[in-house]
Structures are given as structure tokens and as C-alpha cells.
Structure 1
Amino acid sequence: MTRTRRAYVETYGCQMNISDGELMEGILEARGYGIADRPEDADVILVNTCAIREHAEKRVLGRVGQLKGLKADNPDLVLGVTGCMAQRMGDDLARKAPWVDLVMGPDGYRSLPEALDRVRRGDVKSHETVVPAPSGRSKKRGPQLTVLDLDTGENYQGLEQRRTSDVAAWVPIQRGCDHRCTYCIVPYVRGPEKNRDPLEILGEVAGIAAGGVTEVTLLGQTVNSWVSGDWTFARLLRSVARVPGIRRVRFTSPHPNDLTEELVEVMAEEPAVCEQLHLPAQAGNDRTLKRMVRRYTVESFLEKVEMARKAIPDLSLSTDIIVAFPGETHEEFEDTLELMRTVRFDDAFTYKYSEREGTPATRLPRDQFVPDDVAQSRLERLIEVARGIQAEINAGEVGRVEEVLVEKEARDPGHLLGRTRRNKVVAFPGDLAHVGSYRTVALTSTTGATFAGEAVDAGRPGALTAVAGD
């Protein structure tokens, strides 16, 4: 009897990458593969990668180097690198890592089982380059396959993900991006914007709800620019929010330019849409924003914030910020800090500029690039300001009573971890039987970033507390 092959997918990066990992597992499972919980138990290991920052790529290369050791115990093991880093590095990755059998970009996943079969048969063009072995001897590469073609029509419609959570689900509605910010590699590794059919999206959400999952997050590179025929994103969001069994709806990541009055109206009116908005600002200076090709000004960004907060007074707002973009002066950096103080975001994801080969920003004059020590200093100041604001906001929320969806066991034994509708993380005493259920929790203290709480409802395991709109 033939043994079932097993695959292990290890994912790095953003929510879209997490969703892609589930997609690859779903594709392989549909073709008869089992899914392994550990790389040591797998016949196929796929490292699903991110290319947004250089640090992430170095981390992945180190991890792939570790995993090659498993080939000594299992010579038939197929080791692949997939995702954005694979697309960006391409054949160069195959040359630098001769132990990698498959390099596949994000548009190739539909053909993943066939690609793995080709690698096993050796039905690929072998790289004949001789590379030094660790011992100083030479060795020849085995057969390697690169699948790097961008497909402008591939949105993975009709394929099912292997959901890894019984609590919440990612629902990709869009792949690729048309905005082409000068610092961003995404349009070059994921291609142009490709939007899924609304009825298929709604069917998927209905299936998720039928399986008992009550929270969904709609995913896209600029998710609120999604359109399909006469459907706008606002219409889709309203429809998703009204799917029976769906209790919470989130979406990420939107572009400020596509935050419309219609969309904010849906967020305010639909009980299932959470009072949470991630709105990437990236910088707080108009000259920097123009050089990033963000297509908005600080003033217009602040107008979007005001519009959203006016419609949703209890809105929790988060953002992305990049410091040390080439040419950023000290005064322009101070403008970004001022934006942070003006808006007072509940949370901020902060980065220093990472040069990505192939993006327009790399062609700026080299004397405009900010020295690394200056960039690091700016990042540290930004983090200090962002965390200080977050701590002040959260300290003011101690004493609130919130609905919490329990996600998993917390770090401390006997405690649970969950999120409020406003995406605040709360740890509180409770039994694992409550995972996947909703609890009413009083927020009793905060570390500055997260909360501790106490459940104040009856707490029947598996019970769902009533909310408006049920």
C-alpha cells in the first residue's frame, strides 16, 4: 500500500501570506497529500516567504539553510521556497541555495502538485553549476524547478483554503496591486490587481459561517479598491456583514484614497462590521508622500480620519509608518511624529525604509539615502512616541466592559487570549472550552499594549452572548 505523502508549509510575513499558506495546504490536500505538523514528518517542505523587507529575506534564507539538514535523513525530501521572496529572487535563489528543489512565485500555486511531481521525476532542466560543498569538495546540483510567470488573471477563484483556525478566517478578495508606491515590491512580485467575483466571495463566507466560524477578515493589498462589475467594496462589505452566522467582519489593508463616505457609512451602519480601521499613513510630510507616490497629502489623510471618527466615534485606528525614506530630512521626520501626535493611533506598525531591488526608490540619488544609524535612531523615536500614545489610550480604557472573541490559551496557564471588536488583545482567566466563544470581559489593567481582564458573564462553555443585530 502506497504511503500518503505529507506536506509541511511554514509561512512568514503578512496576512495575505498566511492565507496563501492555507491555500497551498488546501490545494495539496485536495490532491491526496496529508498535512504534517512538523517539518521532520514531511515529504515536502514549503517555506512561504515575504519580500517586503531585507531582514525577512535573510531570516528565510537562514531557515532554509537549517531545513536542508533534513535531506540527510530523507533523500527524497522536496524542499521548496514559495511566495514573494521566491518571485523576487527567482533563479538567483535557486543558484544561491542548491538544496532548494522548487522556487515558486505567488501566481504558481494552482500548479503546485504538478510542479512537485516534475521535481520528483527529474523532469526539469537541471542547473549544472558546480558549487563548493561544506567540506571543500564540489557537488552538482540536483534538478531544480522555478515557476515564476506572473498571471494577470490568476485570483485563485474556485480553490479552497485549508482553514487552520476554528475561530476566525482570512478571506482573500484581491491579489496584486495597481498603486505602485515607489518603495514597495508587491506589484512586481504579485502583479497587477486581480479581484474575485463577489458571489463566490459570499459563497465562501457562507461556507465559513456554516462551519461555525463567526469572524472573517477580507484581505487585499489595497482591499478597499476592490471592484467587480457594478459592485463596490462598500456593497461587498455590507453583503458579507449580513451573511447569516457572521458576527464580526474586518478588512485589511485599505488605501486612504479609497476610504469613501459610502464605505464609512457601511462601517457605521452594519452591526457585524467591527469598529476598527487600519489606515496606512506611511509618512507625515507631503514631500515624502509625493516621493513615495502615495497620492494623498497630510491634509487629505487627516480629512479621512475625521470622516471615519465622526461616523464611528468609538473607532480604533491603526496605521503603518516608514521612516528614513530616501531624502527624508530631520524636519520631515519630525512632521511624521507630529502626525502621530495629532491622530493618536491606537496602534502603529513601524519600519525603517528597506531598499528593495527593482523598486523605483532604489533609483534615487545615493546621496539621498539616510545612513543606517540615523534611520535606526528615527525608528526608535517613532516607536517611543507610538507606544506612549498607545499606552495613554489604553490606560483610559481600563474599566470598559467589552465583548471578547476567545482565540486561544494565553501564555499564563489557566488564562485565555482574545480580541475585542476594536482589535484590542485581552488575557483573562478561563477554561480552554471557551475557545471560539464570546465572553463579556471587564478590562482591569493594561501593559500599555495589551489588557488583562475578568469575565463578567455567566461563561457557559461554547455559549454565545447576544449582541445587537443577532
Structure 2
Amino acid sequence: MSRPTVYIETYGCQMNVSDSELMYGSLAAHGYEAVDGPEGADVILVNTCAIRDHAEQRVIGRLGELRRHMKKGTVMGVAGCMAQRLGPTLLEKARHVSLVVGPDAYRALPQLLEGARQGERVTATSFDLEEHYEDFAPRRFDRVKAWIPVQRGCDYRCTYCIVPYTRGAERSRRLDDVVREVEQVVRDGMSEVVLLGQTVNSYSDGTHDFAALLRAVGSVDGIRRIRFTSPHPNDFSDAVIAAMAEVPQVCEHVHLPMQSGSDRVLKRMLRRYTREGYRDCVARLRAAIPTLNLTTDIIVGFPGETDEDFEETVSLVQELGYEDAYTFKFSPRDGTPATRMDPATFVPDDVASARLERLIAVVRAGARERNLRLLGTRHEVLVEKAARRGEMLQARTRDFKTVMLPPDGLAIGDYRIVELTGTTGSTFTGVVVPDAAPRRLALPMAATAAAPAC
């Protein structure tokens, strides 16, 4: 008798990617076979994001498209943050959906699917603040790096953010459990880990903080690169910054959400830091790690944002010199405090769109200017995957720059020293430097040309 097949389609953040790996692993242990497409699968699961309304509307549309791939007896399910937020409403919106399961209910997924295959329509969205899926063996998508959740949920409750309502309160895994998973990752042949949390640098298992976690993961033999996402500016203690600077495996890249450069807007967002506080955090990081590459998240058009507020955001972007930024128009999410603000303060869509367009142009112009100065410099890269177009391979520097390389003599998972030969403004092309072996567990090679000004 053939094994039932399952296809999972994933939207949203890296935490969702990790959760899909957990679901695949659990279902494989219960006799399911993973397939690469939805056509004819016995189970189709859509793991969803609820951060912005656009993401939810996209999923609703995709659920309709996936219906044509269902055969008699196929179970369609929705998982993740959108499932948690909408619950049984999803069963009403999409009659062909039989299962709605939130991020804390994946342990019961095999049993829930069995009920759905018998004709039940089920919603499972209760929070479990003790759940970390420690006994799950994830089926990892990536064979080069591993996504490792170290923390779930969030206690910050920014006024625009749905995460506390879809992921629950903040809780951290035990340090020893994280280290054991990292050791298994090395045994599986991977040398880079990405530590995940909603505010990952606020990690605490009651005994160990994030600095201790970085040092413990760095001590695992075979780990060459450590990344983490996403931190909060308020949680970069001196101890955390010291660990980042002193543990050679920690990469020289921080994705540090700014959201706005205006104190007025930051206060309305309940971000709990000021423009000057954010600037100071960046200064402390760069003082400890001079080669740091900084990326960020920014929201424009938040209720009450004036032209002057927006200009403060633009000026801070220009001052701090981000290599990239994820930029968004404010998207009201039902149940968050921002939706209850005075409607008269909401920014017209055409104004928000114009601000977004300008902000993107500012970020790209600054990144392109700095990237042009890097041509001719040498960097260690890890070859990650085949590029989407052409026959090139995609590699990544320690400070998170993307480099396209000709495939001759290279394999996915290789570390090489490359020279940057060209740039589109955001990504690079490069060539491998013959006979230049990467230095194991060392900081990046010094650039052979002047580094860009911060």
C-alpha cells in the first residue's frame, strides 16, 4: 500500500519556513511522503502569514487556485499565523478547506489530518506556551544552512503588529536543547545556522541570555557561520554585542528593524525606543564590529505620519547607510491597537505610495554607491544554491551580500574566496580567486580597496 502524500506551500517569514520543516518531519514520522507539488497530493497544506492584509488576500486567492489540484479524498488545510488569526472563519470562506491549525498545534497534526480524511472539518488554534517541538526531527529544505527557532512569541506588542496575537507570549528554548539541535545540524553536513525569534536577542531560558547562547552555539565544532533574525534595538546589551564581536562564527550582518525615524511615529507605534536610541544602538554595534552590514524594516504611512515625520525617516536612512531595507506601506490588521486610532489620522494611500517609492529609491541609491566601491575587493563566500536564472551559482558573503558565480569547479556548500567584479547595485558578480583557501573560523579578509563610508 502506497504512503499518503503531503505538499506544504509556505508563505511569510523564516519562522514559517522552519515550522513547515517541522510539519514535514512530523508527518514523515507518521507515514506520509513529501511531494514537490500539489498535483494529486493526498494532503495540501498552506502555511500562512498574517503580517499584512496583502499576504492574507494572496493566500485566499491561492487556496482557490489549489482547489483544481484536489482529487477525491484530498484534504486541504491552512496552517500558520493567518490560520491562528481567522480560525473557523477560514472554513466559512473556503468550503474546500477541512483543517485550520495554528502554530502551537502542529503536534496534533497527524491526528487532525486523520479526522479530516474521515470528513471532519476541524479548527485547532489554542496557544501552548510550553510547546517548542523539541522531539520533532525537521525535514529541512536547505542543505547548506539550518533555520533553528530559539524563541517563540513576542511581548512587545507594537501597535501595528499582529504577531503577539498569532504567536502568543514570548518563551525561549533551553540553551542545551538548542545546542543539541546545532550539533545534529553539523552531523547532517551543514555549517551555517540561523537562530530565529520574533525578538531573538531578548532570548532567555531563565539562566542563559542571548550572549550565552551565541557563545554556546559558536563552541559547537563544525559550525562556521552563525546568523540570527530578527533582533530588537532595545535588547542589544553590552554582553550581546561583545559576544557578537568575540565569537568568530557570528557573521558581520544585523537586520535591525527601524520602522520609522520619527520620534512621534515611534511613540505611536509603541516601539519603546527613540530616534537617538536607535542611532546609539547602531553606533555601539559598529564600534564593536567595524565591518558590520546593516539592513532594516521600515513602515511608511503609519497613522499620523506627517511629511516632516517621513523626512526624518529619510534622513536617518541616509545617515546610517543601510545595505538593504524591507519597506512597506502601513497595513491595518484587525485586533491591533493601530486600527483603533482616529481615522482622520490615516494617511491617504496615494501619499503613502509616493513616500514608499521615494524611500525605496533612497535606499537603492545609497546601496548602489557603496557597492560600487567594493568592486575589486575579496571576500569569503558560501555557495548556497543555483541562481534562478542562467547557469550561475548564488553565494553569500559573511556580511550577507549576494554574489553570482560561474559554476565551474564549484559545488553547493563550498566555501571560497572570491573577487567582486560587477554589481547590479544590489547583487554582485564575482570570480573565485585561485589557490586562496578560506580561513576557517576567521573574520572576513580585509578589503583590498577603501571600504564605503557609513
**If the length of structure 2 is used for normalisation, what is the TM-score?**
0.95
Matching of residues 229-268 of structure 1 within 5 Å = 229-268=206-245
2:189: which partner in 1?
A: 212
**Amino acid corresponding to residue 34 of structure 1 in structure 2:** E
Q: Structure 2 matches for 1:278-427, cutoff 5 A?
A: 278-427=255-404
In the alignment, which residue of structure 2 is the partner of 1:90? 87
- One-letter amino acid matched to 2:269: M
Spell out, residue by residue over 1:165-213, the C-alpha distance to the aligned partner (whole angstroms, 9 max, x if none). Answer: 1111100011110110000000001100121111010000011011110
Q: Does 1:48 align with 2:47?
A: yes
C-alpha contact 1:173 1:220 (8 A) present in aligned 2: yes
Distance 1:192 1:355, change over 3 A: same
Please give the secondary structure, in 1, of the residue aligned with 2:113: helix
Matched, 1:194 2:194: no
CA contact (8 A) 2:148 2:193 kept: yes
Per the alignment, residue 28 of structure 1 pairs with 27
What do residues 1-40 of structure 1 show as CA deviations (whole Å, max 9, x unaligned)? x220111110001111111111110110111111011111
| CA 249–290 in structure 1, closer or farther in 2 if over 3 Å, else same | same
Paired amino acid for 2:104: D
**Residue in 1 that maps onto 2:448:** none
Q: Could you tell me how far 1:160 is from its partner in structure 2?
A: 2.0
- In 2, Cα distance between equivalents of 1:444 and 1:376: 35
Answer with 314-323 or 449-458: which moved more.
Answer: 449-458
CA distance in 2 between partners of 1:431 and 1:210 (Å): 28
Q: 1:26 to 1:54 in 2, by over 3 A?
A: same
Asked if structure 2 preserves the Cα contact closer than 8 Å seen for 1:414 and 1:431, the reply is: no
> Taking structure 1 as reference, are residues 342 and 65 closer, same or farther at Cα in structure 2, changes over 3 Å only?
same
Rounded Cα–Cα distance in structure 1 between residues aligned with 2:388 and 2:181: 33
Moved more, 185-194 or 404-413: 404-413
Are 1:242 and 1:272, in contact at CA under 8 Å, matched by a contact in 2? no
Structure 1 residue 465: deviation in Å?
A: 3.4
Structure 1: runs of 5+ lacking an equivalent: 123-142
Q: Deviations over 1:117-140 (max 9, x none)?
A: 111123xxxxxxxxxxxxxxxxxx
Q: CA deviation at 1:432?
A: 7.5
Deviations 1:110-161 (Å, cap 9, x if unpaired)?
Answer: 1000000111123xxxxxxxxxxxxxxxxxxxx4211111122222222221
- Counterpart of 1:15? 14
Unaligned runs of 5+ in 2: 444-454
Q: Does 1:103 align with 2:96?
A: no
- CA distance in structure 2 between the aligned counterparts of 1:413 and 1:339, rounded to whole angstroms: 37
Whether the 8 Å CA contact 1:154–1:194 is kept in 2: the answer is no
d(CA) in 2 for partners of 1:242, 1:214: 13
Show structure 1 runs of 4+ deviating over 4 A. Answer: none
Q: CA RMSD in A?
A: 1.4
The alignment of Structure 1 onto Structure 2 pairs a total of residues equal to 443
Q: Does the CA contact (< 8 Å) of 1:222 and 1:254 recur in 2?
A: yes
Identity among equivalent positions (%) equals 53
Q: Secondary structure at the match of 1:444?
A: strand
Query: Which piece of structure 1 moves more, 148-157 or 380-389?
Result: 148-157
Contact persistence 2:77–2:99 (CA under 8 A): yes
- Give the structure 2 partner of residue 132 of structure 1: none
Q: Deviations over 1:262-315 (max 9, x none)?
A: 111111111111011111111001111011110000001111100000111110
Q: Distance between the aligned counterparts of 2:385 and 2:225, measured in 1?
A: 17
Stretch of structure 1 that moved more, 397-406 or 423-432 = 423-432
CA contact (8 A) 1:415 1:431 kept: no
Q: Residue type matched to 1:94 in 2? A: L
User: Where does residue 115 of structure 2 map in the other structure?
Assistant: 118
Segment drifting more, 146-155 vs 436-445: 146-155
What is the TM-score when the length of structure 1 is the normalising length? 0.92
* TM-superposed deviation, 1:41: 4.1
Tell me how far apart the structure 2 counterparts of residues 400 and 169 of structure 1 sit (CA, whole Å). 28
Counterpart of 1:465 (choices 438, 441, 447) is: 438
Q: Distance in 2 between matches of 1:411 and 1:28?
A: 29
